[in-house]
């Protein structure tokens, strides 16, 4: 934090998670702990590299202003990852009712007799955040509850409850469904047995047809028709 009485700037270092060919932003927070309106202005040693919004404005009494500093996409990374860029923050007590449109460069001129307070900020590069590691869903049998850290920094334990198919209580109507399935299965087995019986009788008729051909074609027609009806019933039941 700075020694300024008008503006207590946080943080004192602008930290940018450096990545090539990507715009990176960093926020400044300026609490005004006085009962006066405070006009501010932001300057930088490398204005082409940074975009500051807003670069001038007014902080109301007992309030906080956020300023967004955006570093333009860089094509090359410094060899030592060190940055020499700096920012100068200027604050001055302003008259009540002043707005951001009323802030002029002359208000920050020490030669004109204004009491201007200044704070310097450095720019530092930090490593970009790493993507979170994949978390495997579920847990192995016999594993103990795992602990995680809550927002207040204390460890909180979470227990995991496992569910298996054999522990699920039967729902209403399950017994009726099982009875219907059993009945259909029995009917299907009966139809299969009848079909096998008819197949055996048909085979016997084929052997008998070698001895006599009379009456056999009509019987074939009847048998095939009956088999078709039985197969249709079986398909409908399943």
The domain locations on the chain are 13-126, 180-237
pLDDT at position 177 is: 76
Q: How far is CA 102 from the centre of its chain?
A: 44
- Of the chain, the end-to-end C-alpha distance in Å amounts to 79
What is the Cα gyration radius of the chain? 43
Q: Is the pLDDT of residue 98 over 70?
A: yes
Average pLDDT over residues 24-40: 93
- Residue 12 confidence (pLDDT): 82
Sign of CA dihedral 205, 208, 209, 212: negative
Give the burial class of 59: count Cβ atoms within 10 A of its Cβ; 0-12 exposed, 13-18 middle, 19 or more buried.
buried
Are residues 124 and 15 in contact, defined by beta-carbon separation less than 8 angstroms?
yes
The pairing of beta strand 24-32 with beta strand 63-71 = antiparallel
Tell me which of 158 and 25 has the higher pLDDT: 25
- Cβ contacts of 135 within 8 Å, gap of 6 or more: none
Mean pLDDT of 82-91: 94
Question: Tokens 């450095």 sit at which residue?
Answer: 122
Q: What whole-number distance in Å separates Cα of residue 9 and Cα of residue 116?
A: 15
What are the beta bridge partners of residue 119? 89
State which H helix or E strand residue 223 sits in.
Answer: helix 216-237
Q: What pLDDT is stored for residue 214 in this prediction? A: 52
For residue 217, give the H/E element and its range: helix 216-237
Give DSSP secondary structure letters for 165-201. GGGSPPPTTHHHHHHHHHHHHHHHHHHHHHHHHHHHH
Higher pLDDT, 230 or 97: 97
- Average pLDDT for 59-81: 93
Over pLDDT 70: what percentage of the chain? 71
Backbone φ and ψ for 174, nearest 5 degrees, come out as -70, -40
User: Does position 152 have pLDDT exceeding 70, yes or no?
Assistant: no
H/E stretch holding 144: none
What is the mean predicted confidence (pLDDT) over 217-228?
67
Q: Is the pLDDT of residue 161 over 50?
A: no
Q: Which CATH entry fits the domain spanning 13-126: 3.30.565.60, 3.40.1080.10, 2.60.40.10, 3.40.50.720? A: 2.60.40.10
Confidence of residue 73 (pLDDT cuts 50, 70, 90): very high
Nearest residue to 40 (alpha-carbon basis) of 7, 2, 14, 18: 7
Q: Give the pLDDT band of residue 188 (cuts 50, 70, 90).
A: confident
Whether residue 228 has pLDDT greater than 80: no
Cβ atoms of residues 58 and 113 within 8 Å: no
Model pTM? 0.52
Q: What is the mean pLDDT of the chain?
A: 78
Per-residue pLDDT at 191 exceeds 70: yes
Most confident of 12-16, 100-104, 129-133: 100-104
Instruction: State the pLDDT at residue 163.
Output: 39
Higher-confidence residue of 38 and 221: namely 38
């Amino acid at each position: 934090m700075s020694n300024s009485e008008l503006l207590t700037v946080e943080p004192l270092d602008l930290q940018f998670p450096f990545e090539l060919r990507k715009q990176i932003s960093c926020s400044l927070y300026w609490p005004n702990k006085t009962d006066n309106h405070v006009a501010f202005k932001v300057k930088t040693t490398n204005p082409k590299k940074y975009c500051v919004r807003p670069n001038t404005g007014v902080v109301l009494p007992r309030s906080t202003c956020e300023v967004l500093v955006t570093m333009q996409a860089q094509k090359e990374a410094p060899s030592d990852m060190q940055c020499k860029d700096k920012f100068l923050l200027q604050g001055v007590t302003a008259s009540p009712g002043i707005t951001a449109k009323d802030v002029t460069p002359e208000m920050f001129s020490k030669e004109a007799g204004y009491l201007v307070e200044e704070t310097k900020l450095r720019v530092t590069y930090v490593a970009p955040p790493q993507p979170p590691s994949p978390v495997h869903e579920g847990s192995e049998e016999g594993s103990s509850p795992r602990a995680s850290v809550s927002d207040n920094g204390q460890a909180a334990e979470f227990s995991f409850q496992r569910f298996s198919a054999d522990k699920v209580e039967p729902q209403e109507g399950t017994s009726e469904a099982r009875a219907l399935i059993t009945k259909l299965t029995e009917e299907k087995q009966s139809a299969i047995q009848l079909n096998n019986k008819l197949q055996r009788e048909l085979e016997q008729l084929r052997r008998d047809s070698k001895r006599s051909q009379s009456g056999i074609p009509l019987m074939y027609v009847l048998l095939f028709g009956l088999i078709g009806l039985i197969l249709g019933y079986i398909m409908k039941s399943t």
